[in-house]
Amino acid sequence: MRKPLTALAFDFGTRSIGLAYGQSLTGSARELDPLPAKDGKPDWDQVQRIVKEWQPQLLLVGLPLNMDGSESEFGVRARKFGQRLHGRLGLPVEYADERLSTRAAKEEARERGHRGNYANQPVDSIAARIFLEDWLRQHSTGN
């Protein structure tokens, strides 16, 4: 049986980066406040504070693939963001397919009563939680 794993997930975006924290013991994750970003660049000091607070063993970056599985132009930027995370924090970084997480997050936000404009809603962090929970389920089987 593998040791329980803790992970911090990032849903990369140019204006906002969704965040979620989860662990493999229960396969559950929770949304954190999204990070504001300028052209995909967060406040790296804030990222370091969050990592210090939550102490994840792994960082997970959502990879926006095209529906045929090929990498999108935005996926290249998400990978670059993941490389920066690894370079700055020294933690292992993995990537998760996040193709349908944004659509599911918007549906969930609607169900929670959020209406219309999602700019001020935590849709990015809901998406991060969704793909983190999927990733945790896939990596907890066969322990």
The answer to whether residue 20 sits within a structural domain is yes
pTM comes to 0.86
pLDDT tens profile 19-78: 999 999 888 999 999 999 999 999 999 999 999 999 999 999 999 888 888 888 889 999
The answer to whether residue 1 sits within a structural domain is no
The answer to whether residue 131 sits within a structural domain is yes
Q: What was the pLDDT predicted at 2?
A: 64
The answer to whether residue 113 sits within a structural domain is yes
Pick 10 or 25 by higher pLDDT.
10
Q: CB-based contacts of 58: which residues, under 8 Å, 6+ apart?
A: 5, 6, 7, 8, 91, 92, 93, 94
The answer to whether residue 26 sits within a structural domain is yes
Pick 121 or 136 by higher pLDDT.
136
The answer to whether residue 126 sits within a structural domain is yes
Q: What was the pLDDT predicted at 34?
A: 92
Neighbouring CB atoms inside 10 A of 74's CB total 16
Band of pLDDT at residue 128, cut at 50, 70 and 90: very high
The answer to whether residue 88 sits within a structural domain is yes
Its domain, for residue 75, covers 6-140
Q: What was the pLDDT predicted at 88?
A: 97
Q: What was the pLDDT predicted at 120?
A: 46
Band of pLDDT at residue 119, cut at 50, 70 and 90: very low
Total number of domains constituting the chain: 1
DSSP-derived 3-state class of residue 135: helix
The answer to whether residue 50 sits within a structural domain is yes
DSSP-derived 3-state class of residue 25: coil
- The CATH number of the domain holding residue 76 is 3.30.420.140
